[in-house]
Amino acid sequence: MSGASDAAWRLDWISRPAGPLRGTLAVPGDKSVSHRALMLGALAEGDSHIRGFLEGEDTRATAAVFAQLGVSIETPAPGERLVHGVGLHGLRAAGRPLDCGNAGTGMRLLTGLLAGQAFDSTLVGDESLSRRPMRRVTEPLERMGARIDTREGLPPLHLHGGRRLEGIRYESPVASAQVKSALLLAGLYSQGETEVLEPHPTRDYTERMLAAFGWPIDFAPGRARLAGGYTLHATDVQVPADFSSAAFFLVAASLAPGSDLLLRAVGLNPRRTGLLQALRLMGADIEVLDERASGGEPVADLRVRHAPLHGVELPEALVPDMIDEFPALFVAAAAARGTTVIRGAAELRVKESDRIATMAAGLRALGVTVQETPDGAEIAGGTVGSGTVQGHGDHRVAMSFAVAGLVADEGVRVEDCRNVATSFPGFVELANGCGFALAEA
């Protein structure tokens, strides 16, 4: 685990008032798609070439895990991986713990994928990941026949190999693509059918990608079903730009007067774009241009221009479709005229940080009135003041407060930003290139 080194590597930023934001940006590749492309590529027969791969710490951690499991992965160029698949039963025992770093997606999906192997594995993570709930995956996997030791539901996870898994029909109590994906990946190794039903549809990248790799799967919004016993066939994957990374620029350009930004080839999977709708409800001016398909996913260019935002009662139905975008939305709400009410978002409390608490605390430090509720917050918008806030080692919290600094009266000091590299390497350079004034403190 990396607690001590986290402290040694701490990075702080100062984000000063600036703008307008202008130009054309390509944000890095999608984190969810990059993880899954590595995983299915590794289990496939043949070589899969991934383009647009996210060079983030989370996805690199997953690549390193597969290298430990005996999969050869080449990097022909930055943002590319050539995965030499070993087939469904070709992974080898690692012999030492597999470090998922900060990545909940990596750990939860790997738990499903490794539960049906012939060998034991141990999954560990950093300080933040070691606090995140894993029972949501271990409990249904144990119903399938897996045996997994946890530290009272938290990592490290020790998976016992040589178990015989049976498919189940699972009505998930949480709307979580990670839970669904973990069960589907275990389902590849199970007797009979595995079916997952969700309380609200979540991102369907695992389902789409399994189909692209030739595995028969039946899925629709809110449910997915497959049987074990087939083969994954290598295929090339084009990863779209990550909507969750574009989100910071959608909010920033909406807030900074005079802004006019074009974000290129952003993935617009409908289970990811709740923030687009939320910002439009708040008065944002965002155009979706040149909609097209790329690698089986909808992508488009997004043109965002400054517009005065106003507070809204956020429709609860949007919550699962923007679950990673709430830190950015909190900042938009703080700068908007009037009150924004968020409900039905208790999942935010178990992300890389408790994002309701960390965003509320940071906004209060900037003079914004925020009332926390168990499943959301009420944010009285208007002006954002200056001050020092904590990033809490949470990449999206840190980037959101960098956006706040852009419109704060004298700027914002954001402490503990190192983990931004987990999902958005090059954020500072890209932000400064379009008009931010963001510097290491």
Name the site residues for ligand S3P (rule: CB under 6 A): 32, 105, 176-178, 181, 202-203, 323-324, 347
Q: Which is nearer to ligand S3P, 15 or 273 (CB)?
A: 273
Who contacts 229 (Cβ-Cβ below 8 Å, separation ≥6)?
none
271 vs 306, beta carbon nearer ligand S3P: 271
Crossing angle for the helix pair 326-335 and 243-255, nearest 10 degrees? Answer: 10
Closer by beta carbon to ligand S3P, 202 or else 390: 202
**Residue of 131, 134, 172 whose CA lies nearest to 153:** 134
Q: Which is nearer to ligand S3P, 32 or 340 (CB)?
A: 32
CB of 32 to ligand S3P, least distance (A): 3
Shortest separation between residue 58's beta carbon and ligand S3P, angstroms: 9
Q: Which of 30, 324, 354, 416 is catalytic?
A: 324
Least spacing, CB of residue 390 vs ligand S3P, in Å: 20
Residue 324 designated active-site: yes
- Name the residue nearer to ligand S3P (CB basis): 105 or 419: 105
Question: Strand 13-16 and strand 437-440: pairing?
Answer: antiparallel
Question: C-beta of 355: minimal distance to ligand S3P in Å?
Answer: 10
Q: Which residue is nearest to ligand S3P (CB)?
A: 32
Residue type, position 413, single letter: R
User: What is the SS3 string spanning 166-218?
Assistant: ECCEEECCCCCHHHHHHHHHHHCCCECEEEEECCCCCCCHHHHHHHHCCCCEE
Least Å distance between CB 27 and ligand S3P? 15
| C-beta of 324 vs 416, nearer to ligand S3P | 324
DSSP assignment of 343-364, as one string?
-S-GGGGGSSS-HHHHHHHHHH
CA distance 77 to 51: 9
**Beta carbons of 27 and 242 less than 8 angstroms apart:** yes
> Kind of pairing, strands 376-381 and 387-390?
unpaired
Dihedral through CA 117, CA 123, CA 128, CA 131, nearest 10? 80
Q: Which amino acid is at 417?
A: C
Find residue 204's DSSP bridge partners.
none
Least Cβ distance, residue 181 to ligand S3P (angstroms):
6
Catalytic sites, residue numbers = 324
